[in-house]
Amino acid sequence: MSSLPDPPPAVPSGAAVTENVPAPAGEDDAHTLVVVTRLKIDEQLRELTSILGGHWQVSVAPSIPQGDPRITELIVPPGTRLDGSQLPALPGLRAVATTSIGTDHLDLEALSRAGIPVVTAQGFNSREVADHTLACILAAVRDLANGVSLVRDGGWGSLQTHPRLVSLTTLGLIGFGGIARLVAADALALGMRVMVCNRSALPAATLKAGIAQVGIGTLMRQADIVSVHVPLTDGTRGMIGRRELEAAHEGIVIINTARAGIIDQDALADALNTGRVSQAWLDVLATEPPDPQDPLIDCRNAIITPHMAWLSPQSSVKGYRMVAQRLARLASDTP
């Protein structure tokens, strides 16, 4: 596969996000860590306790705990909101971690004002999400969803499907972090043309590898498939809206394994119903589980998966391992 230079680590705006190298915990003061989840996480808890050591008390709570001054660290997964109004009831809180890359479920500004650093699992699932994205790309190019629906509806006939050559496909990537870079390398290896919309200039070595940097308008007009790989921030919310979709070429495919708010869901549903967008492969929705009134649910050409792109037997534990190592390093660096 084509070799691309390593990017600098992505750092969300707002709170100080800590991504230090792993180190064992060795400080003497006690820590009380609460993992906020309703899931059974026995293996993940064993990973946490083995890394953090006996001076860390680790427990699980179904929601953000309130009023316990002993709590020094929280692990807050995506889907659970932690906002500034909850912080006064956690006076002993020293750090917040999330077993995800995204931090849009955390009030970074409030945490920053309170001097509470944020630790993420940056990079823990990059290969999984890239693999999922590539699977969507290949399925879209070969029109697999249409073929499956045709047979399920009692039809038959290859000429009622519209598969294309992978090597004649133009892939557009919005964002160029670790996941997008893996997808780009895979796409280049398969002979695809790759273009990228990214706010910072791409390295010269990336351009030499055959990747073009373009604006969002050019990308939407020229790419056969557009895949989203940016975090959800004030600057990216609604980045693909009605104007961008109406300007896209007829039959474009949209893939989103990032965050739902980056794409205007109502505009996307309209574009799917008119055929401007031929397919949308979505692993994220504005409301999860989906609202029954979500207009995308009834779009036959929207292929929706249950936020599973990140998942593998390895990643389900690796995220906890990474935040444990980073919390340990953060604690050992604290005076």
How many C-beta neighbours within 10 Å does residue 11 have? 12
Return the closest-CA partner of residue 18 out of 90, 118, 127, 138: 118
Helix (H, G, I), strand (E, B) or coil at 109: helix
pTM (2 d.p.): 0.86
* pLDDT at 22 (0 to 100): 38
Nearest-angstrom CA–CA distance, 159 and 147: 10
Q: At residue 76, what are phi and psi to the nearest 5 degrees?
A: -115, 110
Q: What are the residue ranges spanned by the domains of the chain?
A: 17-124+314-333, 126-304
* pLDDT at 43 (0 to 100): 95
Architecture of domain 17-124+314-333: 3-Layer(aba) Sandwich (3.40)
Nearest-angstrom CA–CA distance, 315 and 22: 17
Helix (H, G, I), strand (E, B) or coil at 143: coil
Q: Which two tokens stand for residue 43?
A: 């293996």
* pLDDT at 5 (0 to 100): 46
Q: Which residues are catalytic?
A: 259, 288, 307
* pLDDT at 334 (0 to 100): 59
Is the model's pLDDT at 7 over the cut of 90?
no
Mean pLDDT throughout 307-315?
95
pLDDT band at 333 (very low <50, low <70, confident <90, very high): confident
Is the model's pLDDT at 17 over the cut of 70?
no
Q: Residues, the chain, total?
A: 335
DSSP state of 82: B
Q: Which two tokens stand for residue 329?
A: 């390093």
Is the model's pLDDT at 19 over the cut of 50?
no
Under 8 Å between Cβ of 291 and 267? no
DSSP state of 261: G
Helix (H, G, I), strand (E, B) or coil at 98: coil
Mean pLDDT over each residue of the chain, to the nearest integer = 91
Kindly give the residue spans of alpha helices, DSSP state H, lying in 157-230: 178-189, 204-208, 216-222
* pLDDT at 4 (0 to 100): 54
* pLDDT at 294 (0 to 100): 93
132-167 tens-digit pLDDT: 999 999 999 999 999 999 999 999 999 999 999 999
Mean pLDDT throughout 253-275?
97
Distance between first and last Cα of the chain: 46
Nearest-angstrom CA–CA distance, 194 and 171: 5
Strand order across the beta sheet in which 225-228 lies = 211-213, 193-197, 170-174, 225-228, 252-256, 277-282, 302-304
Nearest-angstrom CA–CA distance, 199 and 11: 14
Q: Do domains 17-124+314-333 and 126-304 have the same CATH topology?
A: yes
* pLDDT at 199 (0 to 100): 94
Nearest-angstrom CA–CA distance, 316 and 307: 13
CATH class in words for 126-304: alpha beta
Mean pLDDT throughout 216-233?
96
